[in-house]
Amino acid sequence: MTGDQAQIVERLLPGVVRRVLGGRVAQPWWLPRRALTVVAADVDVGVGVGAVWMVARPRSARAREYVELVEWYDGQWRYVGGGSADVDGPADGDVEVIEVRGGSGTLSLTRYLDRPQSFGTAPWIACVRVHLGPDVGHLLVGDRRIEASPGQRGVVAVWKVAQVRRLVRPVIVAVGRDGSELSRMGPLASLDSRTWARVREQLRGAGESEGL
């Protein structure tokens, strides 16, 4: 992202957050999706943090995705930081239930209040991208609920924690449209519970076939 593009995105984020809080579609009406598509956004008003997942030039061979973070600080939503990577999301149909992909993390803006002490005490803002299977109706991320509209194949989830726990994400539970639990991922898990169950069954079957 060039310097000019970064400034555009930084100015764009507070507006996206306001749209989400107002119950509107995250994608601004005036922003062509072929230039920049807002895939998903999440805002936790209770702790004053938000995350926006975007893809620049989504139809281009040079498509790149961004996860950017904002925080409610000094009376307004402010850009905190984020990260970017080449688009590597699975194609539709590749995810059975849930798959957690990389996100972003940064120190809260409260680190500026009482430097240098606050660098060690400021909270950590973190988020992940979660790719969804077709049967997922919503996610439970810790004690928060994140909706997935029909056909939506990805959401972003944001939270704030103490720095010492910055590598530990909340428990993520995938819930079907009928209200039943489909699968879950623990704070340090690399695969969801349904996938682990299938792997164990396959290993058990392979062991039995070999007479183990």
How many Å apart are CA 145 and CA 157, to the nearest integer?
10
Q: What is the pLDDT of residue 159?
A: 97
Per-residue buried b or exposed e for 138-167, using 16+ beta carbons within 10 Å of the residue's own CB: bbbbeeeebebeeeebbbbbbbbbebeebe
How many Å apart are CA 75 and CA 156, to the nearest integer?
24
Q: What is the pLDDT of residue 90?
A: 53
How many Å apart are CA 127 and CA 70, to the nearest integer?
11
How many Å apart are CA 131 and CA 163, to the nearest integer?
26
How many Å apart are CA 89 and CA 15, to the nearest integer?
26
Per-residue pLDDT of the chain (212 residues; tens, 9 = 90+): 556 566 777 789 999 999 999 999 999 999 999 999 999 999 999 999 999 999 999 988 889 999 999 999 999 999 998 888 888 655 545 888 999 987 789 999 988 776 776 777 889 999 999 999 999 999 999 999 999 988 898 999 999 999 999 989 999 999 999 999 999 999 989 899 999 998 888 887 766 666 55
- The single residue listed with the structure tokens 């230039």 is 35
pTM, whole model, 2 decimals?
0.89
